[in-house]
Chains A and B, each alone.
Chain A
Amino acid sequence: MPVRKLKNYAFMGFCTFCALFGLMVLASVLYSLIGKGISGMGLHVFTELTPGPGSHGGLKNAIVGSLILTALGILIAAPLGVLAGTWLSESDKSSKIAEALRFLNGMLMSAPSILVGLFVYKVVVVTTGSFSGWAGAIALAILALPIIVSTTEEMLRLVPTTLKEAGSGLGAPRWRVITQLCYRAAGPGIVTGILLSVARITGETAPLLFTALNSNFMSTDLDKPMANLPVTIYQYAMSPFESWNELAWAGALLITVFILIINILSTALPRWIKARKAAK
Chain B
Amino acid sequence: MPSAIKGDSIFYRLSFTSAILIFLVLIGIILSLIDGGWLALSEFGPGFVFRNVWDPVNSEFGAASAIYGTLVSSLIAIVIAIPVGLGTAVFLAELAPDWISRPVSMAIELLAAVPSIIYGMWGLFVFAPWFSEGFQFWALENLVGLPLIGHWFDGPPIGIGLLTAGIILSFMILPIITALTRDALKTIPNVVREAAYGVGATPYEVITRVLLPSIKNAAVGAGILGLGRALGETMAVAFVIGGANRIETSLFMPASSISSTIAQQFNEATNEMHISALISLGLVLFVLTFIVMGAARLLLRKR
Binding site for B on A (CB under 8 A): 4-5, 7-8, 10-12, 14-19, 21-23, 25-26, 28-29, 32-33, 36, 79-81, 83-84, 86-88, 90, 98, 100-101, 103-108, 110-116, 118-119, 122-123, 142, 145-146, 149, 173-176, 178-179, 199, 202-206, 209-210, 213, 230, 233-234, 237-238, 245, 248-249, 252, 255-256, 259-260, 263
Among listed B39-47, B48-56, B137-145, B289-297, interface-contacting one: B289-297
* B203 beta carbon closer than 8 Å to chain A: yes
Chain A binding site: helix, strand, loop or mixed by DSSP?
Answer: helix
Question: Which chain A positions have C-beta within 8 A of B205?
Answer: 4, 8
* B110 beta carbon closer than 8 Å to chain A: yes
B residues 110-135 near A (Cβ < 8 Å) are 110-111, 113-122, 124-127
* B29 beta carbon closer than 8 Å to chain A: yes
**Cβ contact within 8 Å between A175 and B263:** no
Contact with A along B169-212 (1 / 0, CB 8 A): 00100110010000000000000000000000011110110000
Question: Which chain A positions have C-beta within 8 A of B294?
Answer: 107
**Cβ contact within 8 Å between A87 and B16:** yes
- Compute the total of residue contacts between A and B using a CB distance below 8 Å: 251
A234 to B92 CA separation, bound complex (whole angstroms):
35
**Cβ contact within 8 Å between A149 and B121:** no
**Cβ contact within 8 Å between A112 and B35:** no
Return A237 CB to nearest CB of chain B, in Å. Answer: 5
* B19 beta carbon closer than 8 Å to chain A: yes
**Cβ contact within 8 Å between A149 and B235:** no
**Cβ contact within 8 Å between B111 and A203:** no
* B279 beta carbon closer than 8 Å to chain A: yes
Question: Which chain B positions have C-beta within 8 A of A29?
Answer: 111, 114, 118-119, 122, 126
Question: For A28, A114, A234, which residue has the most chain B Cβ atoms within 10 angstroms?
Answer: A114
Q: List 16 A-B contacts (CB under 8 A).
A: A12-B203, A23-B107, A83-B17, A87-B12, A104-B26, A110-B232, A114-B263, A114-B282, A114-B285, A118-B33, A119-B29, A204-B115, A213-B267, A234-B235, A256-B114, A256-B115
* B149 beta carbon closer than 8 Å to chain A: no
- In the complex formed, the residue of B with least CB distance to A98 is B19
Question: Which chain B positions have C-beta within 8 A of A18?
Answer: 83-88, 91
**Cβ contact within 8 Å between B293 and A107:** yes
